[in-house]
Chains A and B, each alone.
Chain A
Amino acid sequence: MSFIGHAASPDSLRKYRVLAFKGFIQNLQYTASHLVNSVASAIFGVLEVYFWLNVIPPQGFADYAPLTMVHYITINQAFVWFTQFGIRVRTRVRDAVRSGNVATELMRPIDFYAYHLATEYGSLLYGLLFRGVPVALMLSTLGFYIPKHPATWGWALFALLLGGYIAAANMYMVGLTAFWTTEIRTPYWVMSSLSLGFGGATFPLEVLPDRLYRLARWSPFACLNYNPARIYLELSGPELVLPGLVWAVIVTVIAQALTKIARRNLEVQGG
């Protein structure tokens, strides 16, 4: 049994690879514009660095000395372009529902969920390379951590890839609500606030009050930024990949189940 319908065969996998590649290259035409945007994004990073340097005590807190805090913020300014910003799958699904094109998409001999996720994943990889990396390079003047152990790169990348997948699946589910409501603004606000607040994109989760910290740490959102950043900064070991694996399976099952329900609920307007 496969969680993603047709995804089991090698031929299908090739299709999803092609879709991801298309998702990647369709962004290439905006590279110059995205590089300009990176300057503004770097400014946000600067604001965060100076805010936190002025807030935390000189001796730091939890595992975070002031310099570690700077490292945490700068690496996450790169990661956010893979796990938080530029995720458009929700609008693609919503627009397909609004225009009625969703009927055609659902008829295609390709899994609806995997089709959208593959396209989004390619686009997110572009975001990481062409938006995240330039921002991190610009912020490296403030401080940038290079892992001491080569294996850390691999584990951090794996955790990040899982985080991007979970983020895209979450936003896919936000898009699915269009099958019932057409307008997805409210679920989007809820999801993006939870992703940012509990994801650790702009601050380590230890800043939160203890109960909220415990809740956030085991939520799927911690897999977006907090877990990959802690692995990258060598504050935690590779075991922090596990929550990402578990949550990736859970969100896939939920997203597929919701897609089935949405398919049954589909009502296309028109004569």
Chain B
Amino acid sequence: MSRGSFRRLIGLIRLYALLISAAVRAKMQYKFDFVTSTLLESLMGAYDYMVALAALWRFHTVAGWNIYEVGLLYSVSKIGWGLYRTFLEEVDRFEGYIVRGDYDSILVRPYPSLFVLASRNFALERLSFVIQGAAVMVISLKGLLASGVLSLASVFHLLLAIVWTTLLFSAVGIATSAAAFVIVRIEELQVFTQNATSTASLYPLEIYPAWLRNMLLYVIPLGVGNYIPVRYLLGKGGTWLNLAVPAVVALLSIMLAVWLWRLGETRYHSTGS
């Protein structure tokens, strides 16, 4: 990296920190409302886990996975989703920019458009997903460490799995939002590419039919971030490659998503005459 590029990168990081701290200060004007609603959402939003909890409390396992093991899958996926929404909330709400024609104001800034979008909002309230996931992870780890299924070294790999999952959610989110440059309305597409697939990734992929499993591994690879490494860490199959593949897929996916975003940008035309 040349000295100029390095200086520019440092400048971007400083600017990002400044803009984000302003966004956080604005949200903290209503501290009580923020804290109570985030905590309550963390509790209430854990519906999927509550369903799994109720089901596994009564029937013990799903495809051989117990509640702690499913909890591990759930927590990695939820934390990844929460971090994606926290950092890239405006990318997720990108449809509005295109519909209202607000994207013009992003383009006139002297910074990459994805950077400008990311720095416009730091969605602290989305940390409710992270809190949910972290709580489930603590419970699951306690059970799995006590029974000797997991070792402390596995915790490090789980943290890495969260990073890869966050990148994968970001890649899917950016690629889906890039479609707005062409088709404008993407809300329904997001339900398909993000909501349905993220829900699917909460459970072991072997419960699904082959077409759905393949979609979650090769087309919208959200299952690669959590299922592949967690399966190996729990001794349910695979090799050390299960820990390496998610990193490769996540990085390639991000590169592909950014390429799609740039391609989409070339198709952008503003609203109005």
Which A residues lie at the B interface, using CB under 8 A?
Answer: 33, 36-37, 39-41, 43-44, 46-47, 50-57, 61, 183, 185-186, 189-190, 192-193, 196-197, 202-203, 207-209
Contacts of B208 in A (CB 8 A): 46-47, 50
Apart from the given pairs A50-B207, A189-B40, A203-B54, 12 other A-B contacts in the complex at a CB distance below 8 Å: A37-B188, A46-B212, A47-B200, A50-B212, A55-B62, A61-B58, A183-B33, A183-B37, A189-B41, A189-B44, A193-B47, A197-B47
User: Would you give the shortest CB distance from B67 to chain A, in whole angstroms?
Assistant: 11
A47 CB contact (under 8 Å) in B187, B188, B199: B199
Which B residues lie at the A interface, using CB under 8 A?
Answer: 33, 36-37, 40-41, 44-45, 47, 50-51, 54-59, 61-63, 185, 187-189, 191-192, 195-196, 199-200, 203, 207-209, 212
Distance between Cα atoms of A52 and B212 in the complex (Å): 16
Given contacts A47-B200, A51-B203, A197-B50, contact A207 B58 (CB under 8 A): yes
A54 CB contact (under 8 Å) in B63, B189, B195: B63
* Inter-chain contact B57/A209, CB cutoff 8 Å: yes
* Inter-chain contact B191/A37, CB cutoff 8 Å: yes
User: Would you give the shortest CB distance from B128 to chain A, in whole angstroms?
Assistant: 10
Distance between Cα atoms of A128 and B203 in the complex (Å): 29
* Inter-chain contact B207/A51, CB cutoff 8 Å: yes
Q: How many A-B residue pairs have CB under 8 A?
A: 82
Q: What are the 6 A-B residue pairs with the smallest beta carbon separation, nearest first?
A: A40-B191, A40-B192, A54-B207, A189-B44, A43-B196, A193-B44
* Inter-chain contact A39/B203, CB cutoff 8 Å: no
Distance between Cα atoms of A27 and B62 in the complex (Å): 40
The chain A residue with its CB closest to the CB of B191 is A40
The chain B residue with its CB closest to the CB of A191 is B44
Instruction: Give me 9 A-to-B residue pairs in the complex whose CB atoms sit less than 8 angstroms apart, sorted by A's number.
Output: A41-B191, A43-B192, A46-B212, A47-B203, A47-B208, A53-B207, A186-B37, A196-B47, A209-B57
Contacts of A47 in B (CB 8 A): 196, 199-200, 203, 208, 212
Given contacts A33-B185, A51-B203, A185-B37, contact A40 B195 (CB under 8 A): yes
Contacts of B187 in A (CB 8 A): 33
Contacts of B196 in A (CB 8 A): 40, 43-44, 47
A190 CB contact (under 8 Å) in B44, B199, B203: B44
Distance between Cα atoms of A53 and B208 in the complex (Å): 10
Distance between Cα atoms of A183 and B196 in the complex (Å): 28
The chain A residue with its CB closest to the CB of B208 is A50
* Inter-chain contact B200/A55, CB cutoff 8 Å: no
Distance between Cα atoms of A40 and B44 in the complex (Å): 23
Distance between Cα atoms of A96 and B64 in the complex (Å): 51
User: Would you give the shortest CB distance from A252 to chain B, in whole angstroms?
Assistant: 26
Contacts of A190 in B (CB 8 A): 40, 44
The chain A residue with its CB closest to the CB of B40 is A186
Contacts of B41 in A (CB 8 A): 185, 189
The chain B residue with its CB closest to the CB of A142 is B209
Distance between Cα atoms of A33 and B189 in the complex (Å): 10
Contacts of A208 in B (CB 8 A): 54
Distance between Cα atoms of A39 and B199 in the complex (Å): 15
Max chain A C-beta neighbours (<10 A), residue from B62, B185, B188, B208 = B188
* Inter-chain contact A186/B209, CB cutoff 8 Å: no
Given contacts A50-B207, A189-B40, contact A33 B188 (CB under 8 A): yes
Distance between Cα atoms of A223 and B55 in the complex (Å): 21
Distance between Cα atoms of A51 and B208 in the complex (Å): 8
Distance between Cα atoms of A190 and B45 in the complex (Å): 10
User: Would you give the shortest CB distance from B83 to chain A, in whole angstroms?
Assistant: 21
* Inter-chain contact A57/B33, CB cutoff 8 Å: no
